[in-house]
Amino acid sequence: MAGNTFGNVFKVSTFGESHGEGIGVVIDGCPAGLQIDKEFIQQELNRRKPGQSHLTSPRKEADEPEWLSGIFEGITTGAPIAVFIRNTNQQTGDYAHLKDVYRPSHADYTWTEKFGLRDYRGGGRASARETAARVIAGAIAKLFIKQAGIDIYAFVSQVHQVKLNKPYSALNLNLTNNYDVRCPDEETAIKMAAVIEQAKAEGDSVGGVISCMVQGCPPGLGEPVFDKLHAQLAKAMLSINACKGFEIGSGFDGTLMKGSEHNDAFELKDQKLSTRTNHSGGIQGGISNGSDIYFQCAFKPVSTIQKKQDTVTVTGESTTLEAFGRHDPCVVPRAVPIVEAMAALVIADFMLLNRSSKL
């Protein structure tokens, strides 16, 4: 199966299934000499894991990583870093009723057509359980780019029709993790949580938007023409389960502006060039310009809901499905650290690539 590796220099390969023995990741290309803060990495995993609040799936997983290789006395050795997380709370029986049925908007049918079989126990590799491995790799990438003064902040900016109508510059992003819904504005967070709770009570689900910014990124990252920085960020984000949309800077709203309104003029500030506005999202010509990199990701409502839906069996017969089990009524709160992790992987990879761009 192709498609399980991400990156050019800082390469990440994930493995494992939702209801198998566990999931894991191999990171190849991480430079030697990086101090690994395992407590920080566990904190990142805790932000993603299920069962952390009443707004998420009640599945209980400790998500405690087993460090297999690539680290000696807390320092990366330059060898591949291998990490494994055991699944400890699978309830495979919850999925027995799905063995001969295709779930609407799921990967069941498409995976069957591609591979000739599927793991009906939670979706196998198509399950969001796989993203825990990405968070480990992303946390290591965060530690790497932190040395260059780069930080990444993501937060929930919309749940269903409740939208945070404030620019990120007006928010205290350190408050994001104070709220289960991962929105740094208390009034909006309360409204968002109420929408998720209502959907959960109705056996339904809702989607939302995650906003993310990369602060402190130096100018010059990006590889034209096909590996533009924003193109790789888009690929990274759209590879996340349930992510259906990506826009950077002004995005689609930029189509409503004239060039005179949209252009970002440079100015010298603190002996560094920056832009007074940031409609381009910190990237021009596919290369970072030193301003904040700002983008948004749209996430669809979770496909598995506890309402009756029309579908078909694996033999093509019409039937009705009423799913049960442990599922998120809204994926966006748990997806915040995944968005950050994938952004960190992109930035780390481009930083290493940039070391060979000029003498």
- Residue pLDDT, tens place only, 76-88: 999 999 999 998 8
Whether pLDDT at 161 is above 80: yes
In whole angstroms, give the CA distance from residue 262 to residue 215: 21
E strand or H helix at 72, and its extent?
Answer: strand 71-72
- Under the banding of pLDDT at 50, 70 and 90, the label for residue 90 is low
Say whether pLDDT at 359 is over 90. no
Structure tokens belonging to residue 70: 């690539």
The per-residue pLDDT for 117 is 83
Helix boundaries (H) for the chain: 38-48, 108-115, 131-146, 186-201, 229-238, 259-262, 332-354
Q: What is the pLDDT of residue 93?
A: 60
Residues 80 and 83: their CA atoms lie apart, in Å, by 10
pLDDT at 274 over 90: no
Task: Compute, in degrees rounded to 10, the torsion defined by CA atoms 108, 110, 116, 117.
Answer: -20
- What are the backbone dihedrals phi and psi of residue 118, each rounded to the nearest 5 degrees, phi first? -150, 155
d(CA 88, CA 21): 8
Report strand pairing: 283-284 vs 162-163.
Answer: unpaired
User: Which pLDDT band holds residue 242 (cuts at 50, 70, 90)?
Assistant: very high
Give which of 217, 24, 295, 294 is closest to 137, Cα–Cα.
24
Which pLDDT does position 94 carry in this prediction?
64
**pLDDT computed for residue 307 by the predictor:** 86
What is the identity of the amino acid at 241?
A: N
Q: Amino acid letter at 26?
A: V
CA angle 244-250-256, nearest 5°? 105
Q: Which residues are paired to 318 by β-bridges?
A: 312
Sign of the dihedral through C-alpha 123, 127, 130, 132? negative
Q: Which of 5-9, 43-47, 106-110, 175-179 has the lowest mean pLDDT?
A: 106-110
Collapsing DSSP to helix, strand or coil, 177 comes out as helix
Lowest-confidence range among 53-57, 258-262, 295-299, 334-338? 53-57
| CB 189 within 8 Å of CB 183 | yes
Could you list the beta-strand ranges (E) of the chain: 5-6, 11-16, 22-28, 66-69, 71-72, 75-76, 81-86, 151-159, 162-163, 208-215, 243-248, 266-269, 272-275, 283-284, 287-288, 293-299, 309-312, 318-321
Least confident range from 217-226, 237-246, 258-267, 285-294: namely: 258-267
- Contacts of residue 235, defined as CB under 8 A and 6 or more positions apart, other chains included, come to none
**pLDDT value for 358:** 83
Q: What is the CATH number of domain 5-354?
A: 3.60.150.10
Neighbours of 164 (CB within 10 A): 22
Choose the weakest-confidence range: 11-20, 73-82, 270-279. Answer: 270-279
Which range is most confident: 45-54, 99-108, 235-244? 235-244
Say what the pLDDT of residue 74 is.
97
**pLDDT of the residue at 91:** 62
Q: Summarize the confidence of residues 33-40 as an average pLDDT.
A: 98
Q: For residues 315 and 321, is the Cβ–Cβ distance under 8 A?
A: no
Q: Give 115-149 pLDDT, tens digit per residue.
A: 888 888 767 788 889 999 999 999 999 999 999 99
Q: Output the CA torsion sign for 140, 42, 90, 316.
A: negative
- Residue entry with tokens 């007006």: 170
Per residue in 295-323, pLDDT (tens digit) is 999 999 998 888 888 999 999 999 988 77
Q: What is the separation of C-alpha 260 from the centre of its chain, rounded to a whole number of angstroms?
A: 34
Average pLDDT over residues 214-239: 97
CA 116 vs CA 19, 46, 108, 109, 183: distances in Å: 19, 35, 11, 10, 41
Pick the most confident of 27-41, 303-317, 323-337.
27-41
Average pLDDT of every residue of the chain: 92
Give the mean pLDDT of 56-60: 71
- Most confident segment among 42-56, 214-228, 271-285: 214-228
How many H helices and E strands in the chain?
7, 18
* Alpha-carbon distance values, 173 to 3, 186, 281 (Å): 33, 12, 18
